[in-house]
Amino acid sequence: MAEESLLRESAWLRNGCNAFESKRPSSQPLSFWLNQDILLYIKRYEIPICSVYGEIVYEDSPEQMRIEEFGLDGGGIDKLVTTGCNRTGCIYCAFGCHLEKDFSRFQSLKETHPRQYKYCIDGGAYDESGKWKPTKEGLGMGHVFDELNKIYGEGFIKY
């Protein structure tokens, strides 16, 4: 969506939703939608969403207005939010996880998907050249996080 970054916004302003004539043709049909548009659409039309997102509720008052009381323009409603994850990606990606101040994505993974968490954190070993690599027991991210926490301070990455 264009609202997610200045780069995406400028790309949308330059090309619109479809950049078929560019060097790397692409299509982003939801680029002009706002996050609130999508949450409202999902709620209004009762579209099932993945359980990791939780429920879609009003930020200040979960039992506030019924969705039928207003149109898709939002009509002055409070902000909609998800009770679970608000974004998802690769569950093993650690990009930016040191910036998570409260409950980290890995702590959440431990609760919601314990087998995947175990695979992510366990395993790993140094190879003959001294390079850390995943093993059949897992990716070994626990070791990586421990090393980073030694360098940058305990709790730099919470898992």
Q: Looking at residue 63, what is its pLDDT?
A: 57
Q: Cα dihedral angle (132, 133, 138, 139), rounded to 10 degrees?
A: 80
- Output the average pLDDT for the chain: 87
Higher pLDDT, 65 or 39: 39
Higher pLDDT, 119 or 69: 119
Check whether 55 has a pLDDT greater than 80: yes
Summarize pLDDT for 99-146 with one digit per residue, the tens. Answer: 888 888 999 899 989 999 999 999 999 999 999 999 999 999 999 999
Domain segments of the chain: what residues?
1-33, 34-88, 97-152
